[in-house]
Every structure is written in C-alpha cells, then in structure tokens.
Structure 1
Amino acid sequence: MHPADLKTISRAVCFDQGRLSIEDIVAIAEGSASVTLSQAPEFRATISRGADFLDRLLKEDGTIYGVTTGYGDSCTVSVPADLVAELPHRLYTYHGCGLGEYFSPAQTRAILAARLASLSKGYSGVSVDLLEQIVRLLDKGLLPLIPSEGSVGASGDLTPLSYLAAVLCGEREVWRAGTRVPAAQALAEAGIAPLRLRPKEGLAIMNGTAVMTALACMAFTRAEYLTRLCTRITAMASFALDGNAHHFDETLFSVKPHRGQQRVAAWLRSDLLRNPPPRNGKRLQDRYSIRCAPHVIGVLADALPWLRESIENELNSANDNPIIDPDGERVLHGGHFYGGHIAFAMDGMKNAVANLADLMDRQMALLVDSRYSNGLPSNLSGMQGPRAAISHGLKALQISSSAWTAEALKQTMPASVFSRSTECHNQDKVSMGTIAARDCLRVLELTEQVAAALLISVHQGVALRRRLAPAVAPEASLLAMAEALNADVSLIEEDRRLDPELRVLLDRMRARTWKLYE
C-alpha cells in the first residue's frame, strides 16, 4: 500500500496493558488509525520495573537466559560480563537470513503493532524507550523491509522480527513513502536516534508471535467479509437461476441450531422473495451449491467467534521468553513464543475459506451451462442476433475461476502438522504458525479472485434473467447490489477482456466497499 492509498486517520489506538481487538490492528495496518503509547504514570512505571529488575539482577551476577547466556541450545554458554551488552545486537545480526517476498506495508504496520501490543503488557523486561521507538517508526512511516519466509513459528518469529530489531537500531532497510531507504539514513532524516538495545531487548523483540498474529488479524477481517459477500453472491445466483427461495425458510433452519448457519440463511431470506410463490411444476430442489449454501458458508460463520478469541488472546499476550515478573521479581522460563493457537486458527480458516471458493465455482458452473441454468443463454452471453454465434460470454472466466479454486483447495494441507526439529534439537517441536498464516492469506487471495469472477457472473445472470422475465424484480437489496456493480461492470454483450474489471472488483472487495447485511 502506497502512502497515497492510506485511509484517512479517524482515531488513535492507545497501547497500554488494556485489551486490543483485531479491528485495532487492522485499522493501524490500513492507516485509518494512528498509534499512541499510554502516558499514564502507572503504565510507564510497570514497564520500567521489569527493566530495572533485570539491571539489578545483572549487578548481582544473576544468570539470565538470553542475557548472560547464549540463545537456544547455546543456553549453557555463559557470556562474559564485558560482552553482555553486545549480545542482543548479535541476535538480530545472525538472524538476518530471511528470503521470499517482503511483507506489504500494511502487513508490516500490523506486525509492528502486534509486537508493540505484546511488549506493552509489562512482562518482557524492556524499556519505555524501546516501545516509543516502535511508535516513532509507525508515526514516521518508516517500515522495516521484512522478508516473509524463514520462520517456523517457535521460538517465535525470530528471523522476520530480526528485521524490526535491526531497524530500531539503525541497520538494514526501510520502506519510506514507497521508496527503499537505508534505515540509518531514514532514521537520521526523521530525527530519530538509533537504539542501543538493553540486555534482554533483542530477545524480547524477536522471540514472539507478532508476525503470525498480525497476519491472522488481517486474514480474519478478509474472511469475515467474504462470509457476507459469498452470501450475497449466492442470493444473486439463486435469483439468476430462478431458484427456490423456500430452501432458506426460517422454520427449516430452526431445526438445525448452528447460529452462524442460521444467520446466513436469514441473510439469504432478506435478499430473496419474502413470500415466494409455489414452484408450479419447476424443479423442487435446487442443486447443492445453492440449496446447501448456508451449510457451507455457515461453517466459516460459526468458526469466526472462536477464531477471533484465539487470535485476540494471542494478540493480548506476553509471548516472549523468558517472562519477567517485575512484582514477584522472578525470571520465568517457558515457551509462550509457541504459535500453536494461531497455526490451528489459520489452518482451520483456510479450509473453511477454500470451501467458499469451491461453492462459488460450482455456482458459476451452473450459471454458464444452459443445461442447468433454467433458460439463461450459454456462457451467460448477452449478445443477441447474428453476432451471438461468435460471442463466448464468460466461457474463459469460468475456466479461470476453476483454476483459482483448484489452487486454493491445493493450499489447504495443514501447515501445523509439518513441525520440523531445528536448532540442534532445542526447537524440536515447532508450530509452523507463520507458514499457516501465509498460506491462509494466499487462500483468501484466490477465493477473492473467485468471488470477483462470480460478481461479474451473477451481475450478468441477474440482468439476463430480468430480460427473460421483466415482470419479476429482485428484492431491494439485490437491486442495490446490481446498481453498485453497474459502476464497475457493464453488461457483457460483445466479448471483451475482463481482467481490468476483475481487478477493480478485487480492490472494492479488499476495501470492503459494499455494505453487506447488518
């Protein structure tokens, strides 16, 4: 996202020890919210107590993992006192081995916000200066270039978060207004002094689940919107196919009490004829991709509440190691960097989302096939007269939709079961949470592409159905959706390329332009 594409800032998200929501992180990512660090004296005192306790422990020659010892399997290696200050800088240096595409600016803002959220809980032993430095990066639009590949999701997102740690100290590179700039130069020109990390701060920045959690927040918002959009597309497909609105009857769904599924059925009822006439000899039961649409979409709708709970619990956790208890003055060694909950959530989400792609692809197959579309022209071609013989309508679009669907389905293998023993068998069971989150975002992207194809298809189908039956008008909500689509997609009569329109629809979708249900 280029700075010119950022939304207007409408609110500030304050980071303290309070609970943050998925929407807070997404608003920061999309640029509609700014970031502030609490000025409350009690909050700042809590943060300082952890760092001060570590300072006292060091003066007393205490042994602290990652502070006076090496990292991971090297925890048995004692670090000489005169090298302790250098150790956190070594940590981010040797983890500078990420590859793959860089995270987008929006994803990077979400990553910084997620790490700030965890460190603000007051159990990481970091200084207020470190928290303020992250806020400065966000405020000035200096976004670390973070490669997306190289994390196994325990001991946290070490490699990608090393790029944040390095930039805080004036090393590596940042995106600034869409341009790649050395971090040292960007910080100097913004009037920001590079940090010199305190003993545990390198570990605190890197040894956590911020990357996978940030991606999960963004995935959740897209999946939630797709649930609604897929429902609206189904309603338009049902109308275009002259389907049976009785399939979504309230009494029918009262006997199967999945709340999300019932909600989807209610949305479909609101979009279709409130009192549909008898079938009068028409096919009594529509094919499954229409009749069972609430049952397919409802799986994701019912999963969203527990997905939210898992993601937001991770977002609002202190998830590095060791945990510093400033009040009890204890150093607690554990494994909170393990991203198993996010891994499971992302594996589950991508499965449910891929099923939406498959559902929509099957709906499109019905729409373009004159054997099953109840009188619609083959391939939904809008051309009439002699030129209809050379007009192919949406034939190729259906092929592309099938390709995107197949690729989405192929991505549903759960990443979380592919744990690999790493780092001299110290990290011998890892979460693969970041890979799962990246996979989920790819499935979302492909499913959105299928949805864009279906939007063109149902827009065309509704128009052609109304041409066949002018006296039958859609409900107001479907008419409003058709009119909104008219701004970007005109009726396809003469064959034309469709990729420009598909890209516009994807932009509208990802900006959540259409207001869908209450």
Structure 2
Amino acid sequence: MMNKVVIDGHHLSIEDVVNVARHGYLVELSEDAKAKVEKARALVDKFVQEERIEYGITTGFGKFAEVVISKDDAKRLQRNLIVSHATAVGNELDAEIVRGIMLLRANALSKGYSGIRLSTLNTLIEMLNKGVVPVVYEKGSLGASGDLAPLSHMVLVMIGEGEAYYNGERMSGAEALKRAGIEPVELVEKEGLALINGTQVMTSIGALALYDAINLAKASDIIAAMTVEALRGITDAYYHRVHEVRPQIGQMKCARNMLRLLEGSSLTSRQGEIRVQDAYTLRCIPQIHGASKDAIEYVKKVVEIEINSATDNPLIFEDEMRVISGGNFHGQPMALAMDFLGIAVSEIANVSERRIERLVNYQLNDLPAFLTKKGGLNSGFMIAQYTAAALVSENKVLAHPASVDSIPSSANQEDHVSMGTIAARKARSIIYNASRVLGIEYLAAAQAIDFRGDFRLGNGTDAAYKLIREEVEHLDEDRIMYIDINRASKIVDSGMLVKRVEEAIGEIEN
C-alpha cells in the first residue's frame, strides 16, 4: 500500500511536506475539505451570476482592481492572468521544492476560503500524484501579493502550457499532462488568482530548509563533541547548574546533549587537569549552538502556521456570504523567519570553522600541524580549512537580511513587499554551505582523534566516529580531499549521522 498524506488545510506537518516533496507520498483530499471547497465555489458562482463587483472575480488585478470585467470576458481574464504573470527567471527550482509548492497550494485551497472549483483542485493533486512536475524558475517573486510569478509557472502546466518534467524527461506542459492522462483545466472566475496569490514558494523552500536546519543543528552538537574529545576539552562547562542559572532553553538542551554524547569518554578532561578553561569555541558550545536552536524553534512555529494557512486574496467567507480583500498573501512573517534561519545556521557554520582552526593549527593544540605526520611533504587539512573559511565568508554575505528591503510595485498599489522568497532561497544556500563546513570538521575531528592513541570515545561520539570511518579512512598521505569532504557532508546532510547516534544514545535534543 502506497504511503499517503490526507490534506484538509489544518493538519499538515513539516514531516508531511518532506514526505510528499522528497519521498513521493501520495496526496488525498479529505471529505470535509471537499465540502468546504464546493460551498465556497457556490458563493463565487452566485456572485458571478449577480454580476457583483468583487476583486479578482469581476475586476482586474493589482492597480487594475477598479476595472470591471464583463461576464463574457471572465474566463479570458483568468488565462491572461496566468500567462502575463509567468515572468520568473533564473535557475529551475529543484523538483522537491516544486512538489512542496504544489502540496502547500493544494492544502491552502482545501481550507475552503479560495473559491476554486473542486475539479481544478483535484487536477493539481492528480499532477502531484502522477509525477507531473512543472518547470518553475527561482527568481521573480517580491514575496507580497504572494509568489505570483513562480506560482504562475506551476499553473501554466495545469492549463496545458509551459514546461514540465514527467518520468524525468522535460517536455511541454501539454505533453506531460497527455502522458499522465490528465485533462488540462480551463480556468473560470477567481481560479487563476486562487492558484497564484499565496506564499507557497517561499514556504516550500522554507519548510524543507527548516527540516534540514533541524538536522544540521543536531549534527553540529555531535561533531562538536568529537572535536572536544580531539582537543581534550573540559566537560565541566556543560554541567547542568551552569545552564540552569541562565535558563535559555536551547542552551540547556545543547549542554545535556554534550554530556550524553561524551559520557564514558577517556579523552575529555576536567577543570584544572590539563588547563583551567577552554577557548570559547569549546567552552561556549551550549551558548552558541543553543541560541541557534532557539532561533530554529521560532522559525518552526512560523512555518507550521504558514503551511496550514489561507494566504490568497480575496478570501471567501461562505458562512457570512462575504468576499473580503485582505493581505494574507504578504510574506513578512516568513521573510523575517527565513532571514533569522539563515543567520542562525550561519553561526553554526562560523563556530564550526573556528573549531576546525583549533584542530589544524599546531599553535593552538598538541597535535601534528594540519593533522598530518609528514608536514611539508603533505599538506593534510591545510586547504580544507581554507574551504571552510570561504564558505563561512560567503554565508556572511548571504545572511544579510532580505526582509529589510522593499520596492513598490503595481504603480504603488503594492507599496511594501517582503522579499520573503529571496530570504528563503538564501537560507537554503546557507544551509548547504554549513553542511559542508560541518563535514570538514567531522573529518578533521576524526583525524585528530586518531592521533590520540589508546582511547575510549563517548557513547554518542563513538557511533559518529565509527560511521565516518566506514566511509572515509584515516589520511596518512595526501589524497584528493573533495571526495572525502563530499562523503562526510553527505553523511551530515542526509540525516545519517543523527540517525546513527540516536540509535546509540536516544534522541538528540534540538
């Protein structure tokens, strides 16, 4: 039996988004949602028959809201909306992001506030279930009035236009629908606007980025613990009372993680045994990682609300017989959250790179320079640290907030926009860079541990060490390093590292 996710506009989880977007789960509309969608559509049809002036139903869009459209031109209006708004440029969004967009748009429509026909919504779900993936370009959204441009590329395929992938092959949207056995849609009143006026592009990118950031935050604790062992770090700094007197939630979680990961280690030290205190990059791991954990938790709350929200305009309140123009399409909540996510993950990478420096710099430790026995003949981890430094420097540029910018559009009708989709894309790039930095630290920590001779690793770090040694052997002589970095980073960003360690010691707190 195929795995599936039932949507009703209220109960979608971040894990559901990941399962549909990445793992191909099928999507089904709940019976309650079907009834709500049909009731809202009935009200739209009633207003159309009465020729009432309602934004986006019998009027133009944006600054053209004052232009009344005749009943005869209503269908043409919806098609014109899609083809004129499909102006996105740049690289194609990954298939998983597009699948996430389709799921999130379907879930928002299933709430019954958008006025779309049930048959049109079912077409979108059928495309998702049969593997028709529209070609959607990444740039062109201002993040207010929704993600108009990129969402229009999704809808182009629904009407038999644009381009799509089917069974991994790129083709016209019409051909993709034909091969999948799906009839193209002829949009009617309100439907074009219902499909494109929402925050689903920034939210799809953001939800997947958030999921990866949670994994990365857990992995950073594991890898940092290995570095603590490699540098004979002092565990007293993680003592619970230190953190209880400054009860920041993420900080306390990280301190608990560190002690559990390092429990049983023969490599760690106590205060005064080797040195009185460690450098900040070791001593302050709970404070630094913990602050990022708290930021990620805030972002999680925002994303969980957004994936179950009606974010288009106007909204149909069938029970009150009202159509109201509002601003739920404005991406400001997601924009701020995505900027915050990018900053939080940048800091995880920043401190990881500083730990790498402490591992490779013989002036800061008692290990061979650059973690190689024959320095000079071999460069060891010298240039791997360069790569980490380059990545964190790039992250500093990417972490500049997008949400503080706004450019008016639509003849100043839309005079403040969020840039939330740019913020989400930047956060995703930062997460990619951070996973590579952590991959380099993972390799360097394992290499340094190897120089310690007889030792017993902690209950959690032992599982992490064994995992990396299954994929990458100790560096005796210089070899092509990018291969090792890619392998280590894949272990990190795939979730394999967290899974292996959690099998050994239980859940890592985030």
Task: Provide the residue aligned with 1:230 in structure 2.
Answer: 220
Answer yes or no: is the 8 Å Cα contact 1:245–1:273 preserved in 2. Answer: no
Shift of 1:505: 2.6
Answer yes or no: is the 8 Å Cα contact 1:67–1:87 preserved in 2. Answer: no
Q: Are residue 441 (structure 1) and residue 428 (structure 2) matched?
A: yes
Q: Are residue 283 (structure 1) and residue 275 (structure 2) matched?
A: yes
Match of 1:482 among 460, 465, 479: 465
Q: Are residue 325 (structure 1) and residue 285 (structure 2) matched?
A: no
State the distance in 2 between where 1:389 and 1:181 align. Answer: 54
Q: Are residue 46 (structure 1) and residue 36 (structure 2) matched?
A: yes
Shift of 1:94: 0.6
How has the CA–CA distance of structure 1 residues 292 and 277 changed in structure 2, closer, same or farther, with 3 Å as cutoff?
closer
How has the CA–CA distance of structure 1 residues 492 and 163 changed in structure 2, closer, same or farther, with 3 Å as cutoff?
same
Q: Deviations over 1:330-371 (max 9, x none)?
A: 101101100111001001111111001100000000000111
Shift of 1:280: 5.0
State the distance in 1 between where 2:169 and 2:414 align. Answer: 37
* Letter aligned with residue 166 of structure 2: R
Q: Are residue 163 (structure 1) and residue 150 (structure 2) matched?
A: no
State the distance in 2 between where 1:462 and 1:201 align. Answer: 61
Q: Are residue 210 (structure 1) and residue 200 (structure 2) matched?
A: yes
Q: Are residue 396 (structure 1) and residue 383 (structure 2) matched?
A: yes
Match of 1:376 among 364, 367, 370: 367
Answer yes or no: is the 8 Å Cα contact 2:143–2:417 preserved in 1. Answer: yes
Shift of 1:252: 1.4
Which shows bigger deviation, 448-457 or 155-164? 448-457
Q: Deviations over 1:345-402 (max 9, x none)?
A: 00111111100110000000000011112x1100011x3xxx5540111001001110
State the distance in 2 between where 1:195 and 1:32 align. Answer: 24
The gaps in structure 2 that reach 5 residues or longer are: none
Q: How many residues align?
A: 499
State the distance in 2 between where 1:15 and 1:131 align. Answer: 12
Matches within 5 A, 1:447-466: 447-465=434-452
Answer yes or no: is the 8 Å Cα contact 1:10–1:32 preserved in 2. Answer: no
Task: Provide the residue aligned with 2:342 in structure 1.
Answer: 350
Answer yes or no: is the 8 Å Cα contact 1:89–1:202 preserved in 2. Answer: yes
Shift of 1:277: 5.5
* Letter aligned with residue 239 of structure 2: D
Match of 2:186 among 183, 192, 196: 196
State the distance in 2 between where 1:48 and 1:372 align. Answer: 68
Answer yes or no: is the 8 Å Cα contact 1:322–1:334 preserved in 2. Answer: yes
Task: Provide the residue aligned with 1:3 in structure 2.
Answer: none
* Letter aligned with residue 318 of structure 1: A
State the distance in 1 between where 2:327 and 2:273 align. Answer: 64
The gaps in structure 1 that reach 5 residues or longer are: 1-8
Task: Provide the residue aligned with 1:58 in structure 2.
Answer: 48
Where 2:26 maps in the other structure, the secondary structure is strand
Q: Are residue 248 (structure 1) and residue 238 (structure 2) matched?
A: yes
Q: Are residue 495 (structure 1) and residue 478 (structure 2) matched?
A: yes
Which shows bigger deviation, 338-347 or 274-283? 274-283
How has the CA–CA distance of structure 1 residues 92 and 11 changed in structure 2, closer, same or farther, with 3 Å as cutoff?
same
Matches within 5 A, 1:292-331: 292-331=284-323
Answer yes or no: is the 8 Å Cα contact 2:216–2:493 preserved in 1. Answer: no
Match of 1:361 among 346, 353, 366: 353
Which shows bigger deviation, 265-274 or 476-485? 265-274
* Letter aligned with residue 129 of structure 1: S
Shift of 1:412: 1.0
* Letter aligned with residue 54 of structure 1: V
Q: Which contiguous aligned blocks of 4+ residues in structure 1 show a shift greater than 6 angstroms?
A: none
Q: TM-score, normalised by structure 2?
A: 0.95
Answer yes or no: is the 8 Å Cα contact 2:230–2:445 preserved in 1. Answer: yes
* Letter aligned with residue 481 of structure 2: L
Shift of 1:19: 1.7
Q: Deviations over 1:256-286 (max 9, x none)?
A: 1011110101110012246966455522111
* Letter aligned with residue 328 of structure 1: E
Q: Deviations over 1:144-197 (max 9, x none)?
A: 000000000011000000011111111110012222111101111111110011
